[in-house]
Amino acid sequence: MVAAVVGLGLMGGSLALDLKDKGLADKIIGYDRNEEHKKEALHLGLVDEIVEFEEIKKADIIFLAIPVEGIIRTLPKLEDVDRKTTIVDLGSTKEKIVKECPKKIRAQFIAAHPMTGTEYSGPLAAVRGLYEDKIVVLCNTEENDKEHLQKAENIFVSIGMQIVYMDAKEHDLHAAYISHLPHAISYALANAVLKQEDPKSILILAAGGFKDMSRLAKSNPKMWCDIFKQNKNNLLTSIESFKKELRFATRLIEEEKWEELQEWMQKATTLHKIL
């Protein structure tokens, strides 16, 4: 089986490494718009060959590991692939992508969101085992051909993932709370500190807590701006829920209602009984 990976960064590059390691593809071909990334991916051995975009259509399975706006622009260019070719995207939003997918390839297009990643990007960020023991959400699979769905499921399971099925609309709301909102918060925290008079003298005190809270603010701005754009309404809803909690706590602090504040904190600690 020939696998094609479009986008040779963290997600695509790591997937390519796993496909090869697990013997899931005889050959892995890769495409990226960025010339530097092409060279790096080949040099790092992420893919066997770098090809022109048209050539990826010859693969048995095509993975789109590119920013979500790019996925929407790319799908119409794949309308003429063979009906046996499976197409899988790895984007962080699903509703708009599923909706915009051309009808002609909808049955063979698997909308997937692997819940994994790091704050780094590009081919140099690719690592083995990124997908191991992680969740992948597959959306609206009732619109897929069984054959294509099974091909994708088999690969995700083979690289160590657990599959969760979800409606794309529901996925996007949940992803807003669990991933997109935390990114927005992390960027805001980083900017709040940077705006202070002498950020260096603040940051010298940074320990594990602050490093964890600001880690997501290292994430690729272009990629995350695309995600925020596609999940605008859910993201705004989740930001409002968060702001409401922070407003509540702020009021308790202002009014020195320490017992109520402690109860509010106590409630938050229960999250980890579920998590």
Residues within window 196-215 making contact with a second copy, judged by CB under 8 A = 196, 199-215
Query: Considering the complex, what minimum distance in angstroms separates the CB of residue 93 from a second copy?
Result: 13
Smaller CB distance to a second copy: residue 23 or 209? 209
The size of the interface with a second copy (CB under 8 A), counted in residues, is 88
- If 0-12 CB within 10 Å is exposed, 13-18 middle and 19+ buried, where does residue 167 land? middle
Query: Considering the complex, what minimum distance in angstroms separates the CB of residue 141 from a second copy?
Result: 17
Query: Considering the complex, what minimum distance in angstroms separates the CB of residue 94 from a second copy?
Result: 12
Q: Using CB under 8 A, which residues numbered 221 to 250 contact a second copy? A: 221-222, 224-225, 228-229, 232, 235-236, 238-239, 241-246, 249-250
Query: Considering the complex, what minimum distance in angstroms separates the CB of residue 122 from a second copy?
Result: 14
Smaller CB distance to a second copy: residue 101 or 216? 216
Query: Considering the complex, what minimum distance in angstroms separates the CB of residue 257 from a second copy?
Result: 10
Q: Using CB under 8 A, which residues numbered 94 to 123 contact a second copy? A: 115-118
Smaller CB distance to a second copy: residue 77 or 267? 267
Report the distance separating Cα 169 and Cα 233, nearest Å. Answer: 11
Q: How far is CA 80 from CA 57, 105, 254, in A?
A: 8, 8, 62
The binder of a second copy chosen from 57, 104, 134, 169 (CB under 8 A):
134
Q: Using CB under 8 A, which residues numbered 22 to 61 contact a second copy? A: none
Where does this chain touch a second copy (CB under 8 A) — which range of 20-28, 36-44, 47-55, 178-186?
178-186
Q: Using CB under 8 A, which residues numbered 148 to 167 contact a second copy? A: 164
Smaller CB distance to a second copy: residue 84 or 268? 268
Query: Considering the complex, what minimum distance in angstroms separates the CB of residue 92 from a second copy?
Result: 11
Smaller CB distance to a second copy: residue 86 or 238? 238
Closest by Cα among 74, 63, 67 to 13? 63
Concatenated DSSP letters of the chain: -EEEEE--SHHHHHHHHHHHHTT--SEEEEE-S-HHHHHHHHHTTS-SEE--GGGGGGSSEEEE-S-HHHHHHHGGGGTTS-TT-EEEE--S--HHHHHHS-HHHHTTEEEEEE----S--SGGG--TTTTTT-EEEEE-GGGS-HHHHHHHHHHHHHTT-EEEEE-HHHHHHHHIIIIIHHHHHHHHHHHHHHTSS-HHHHHTT--HHHHHHHHGGGS-HHHHHHHHHHTHHHHHHHHHHHHHHHHHHHHHHHTT-HHHHHHHHHHHHTHHHH-
Smaller CB distance to a second copy: residue 53 or 210? 210
Smaller CB distance to a second copy: residue 43 or 246? 246
The binder of a second copy chosen from 39, 122, 124, 264 (CB under 8 A):
264
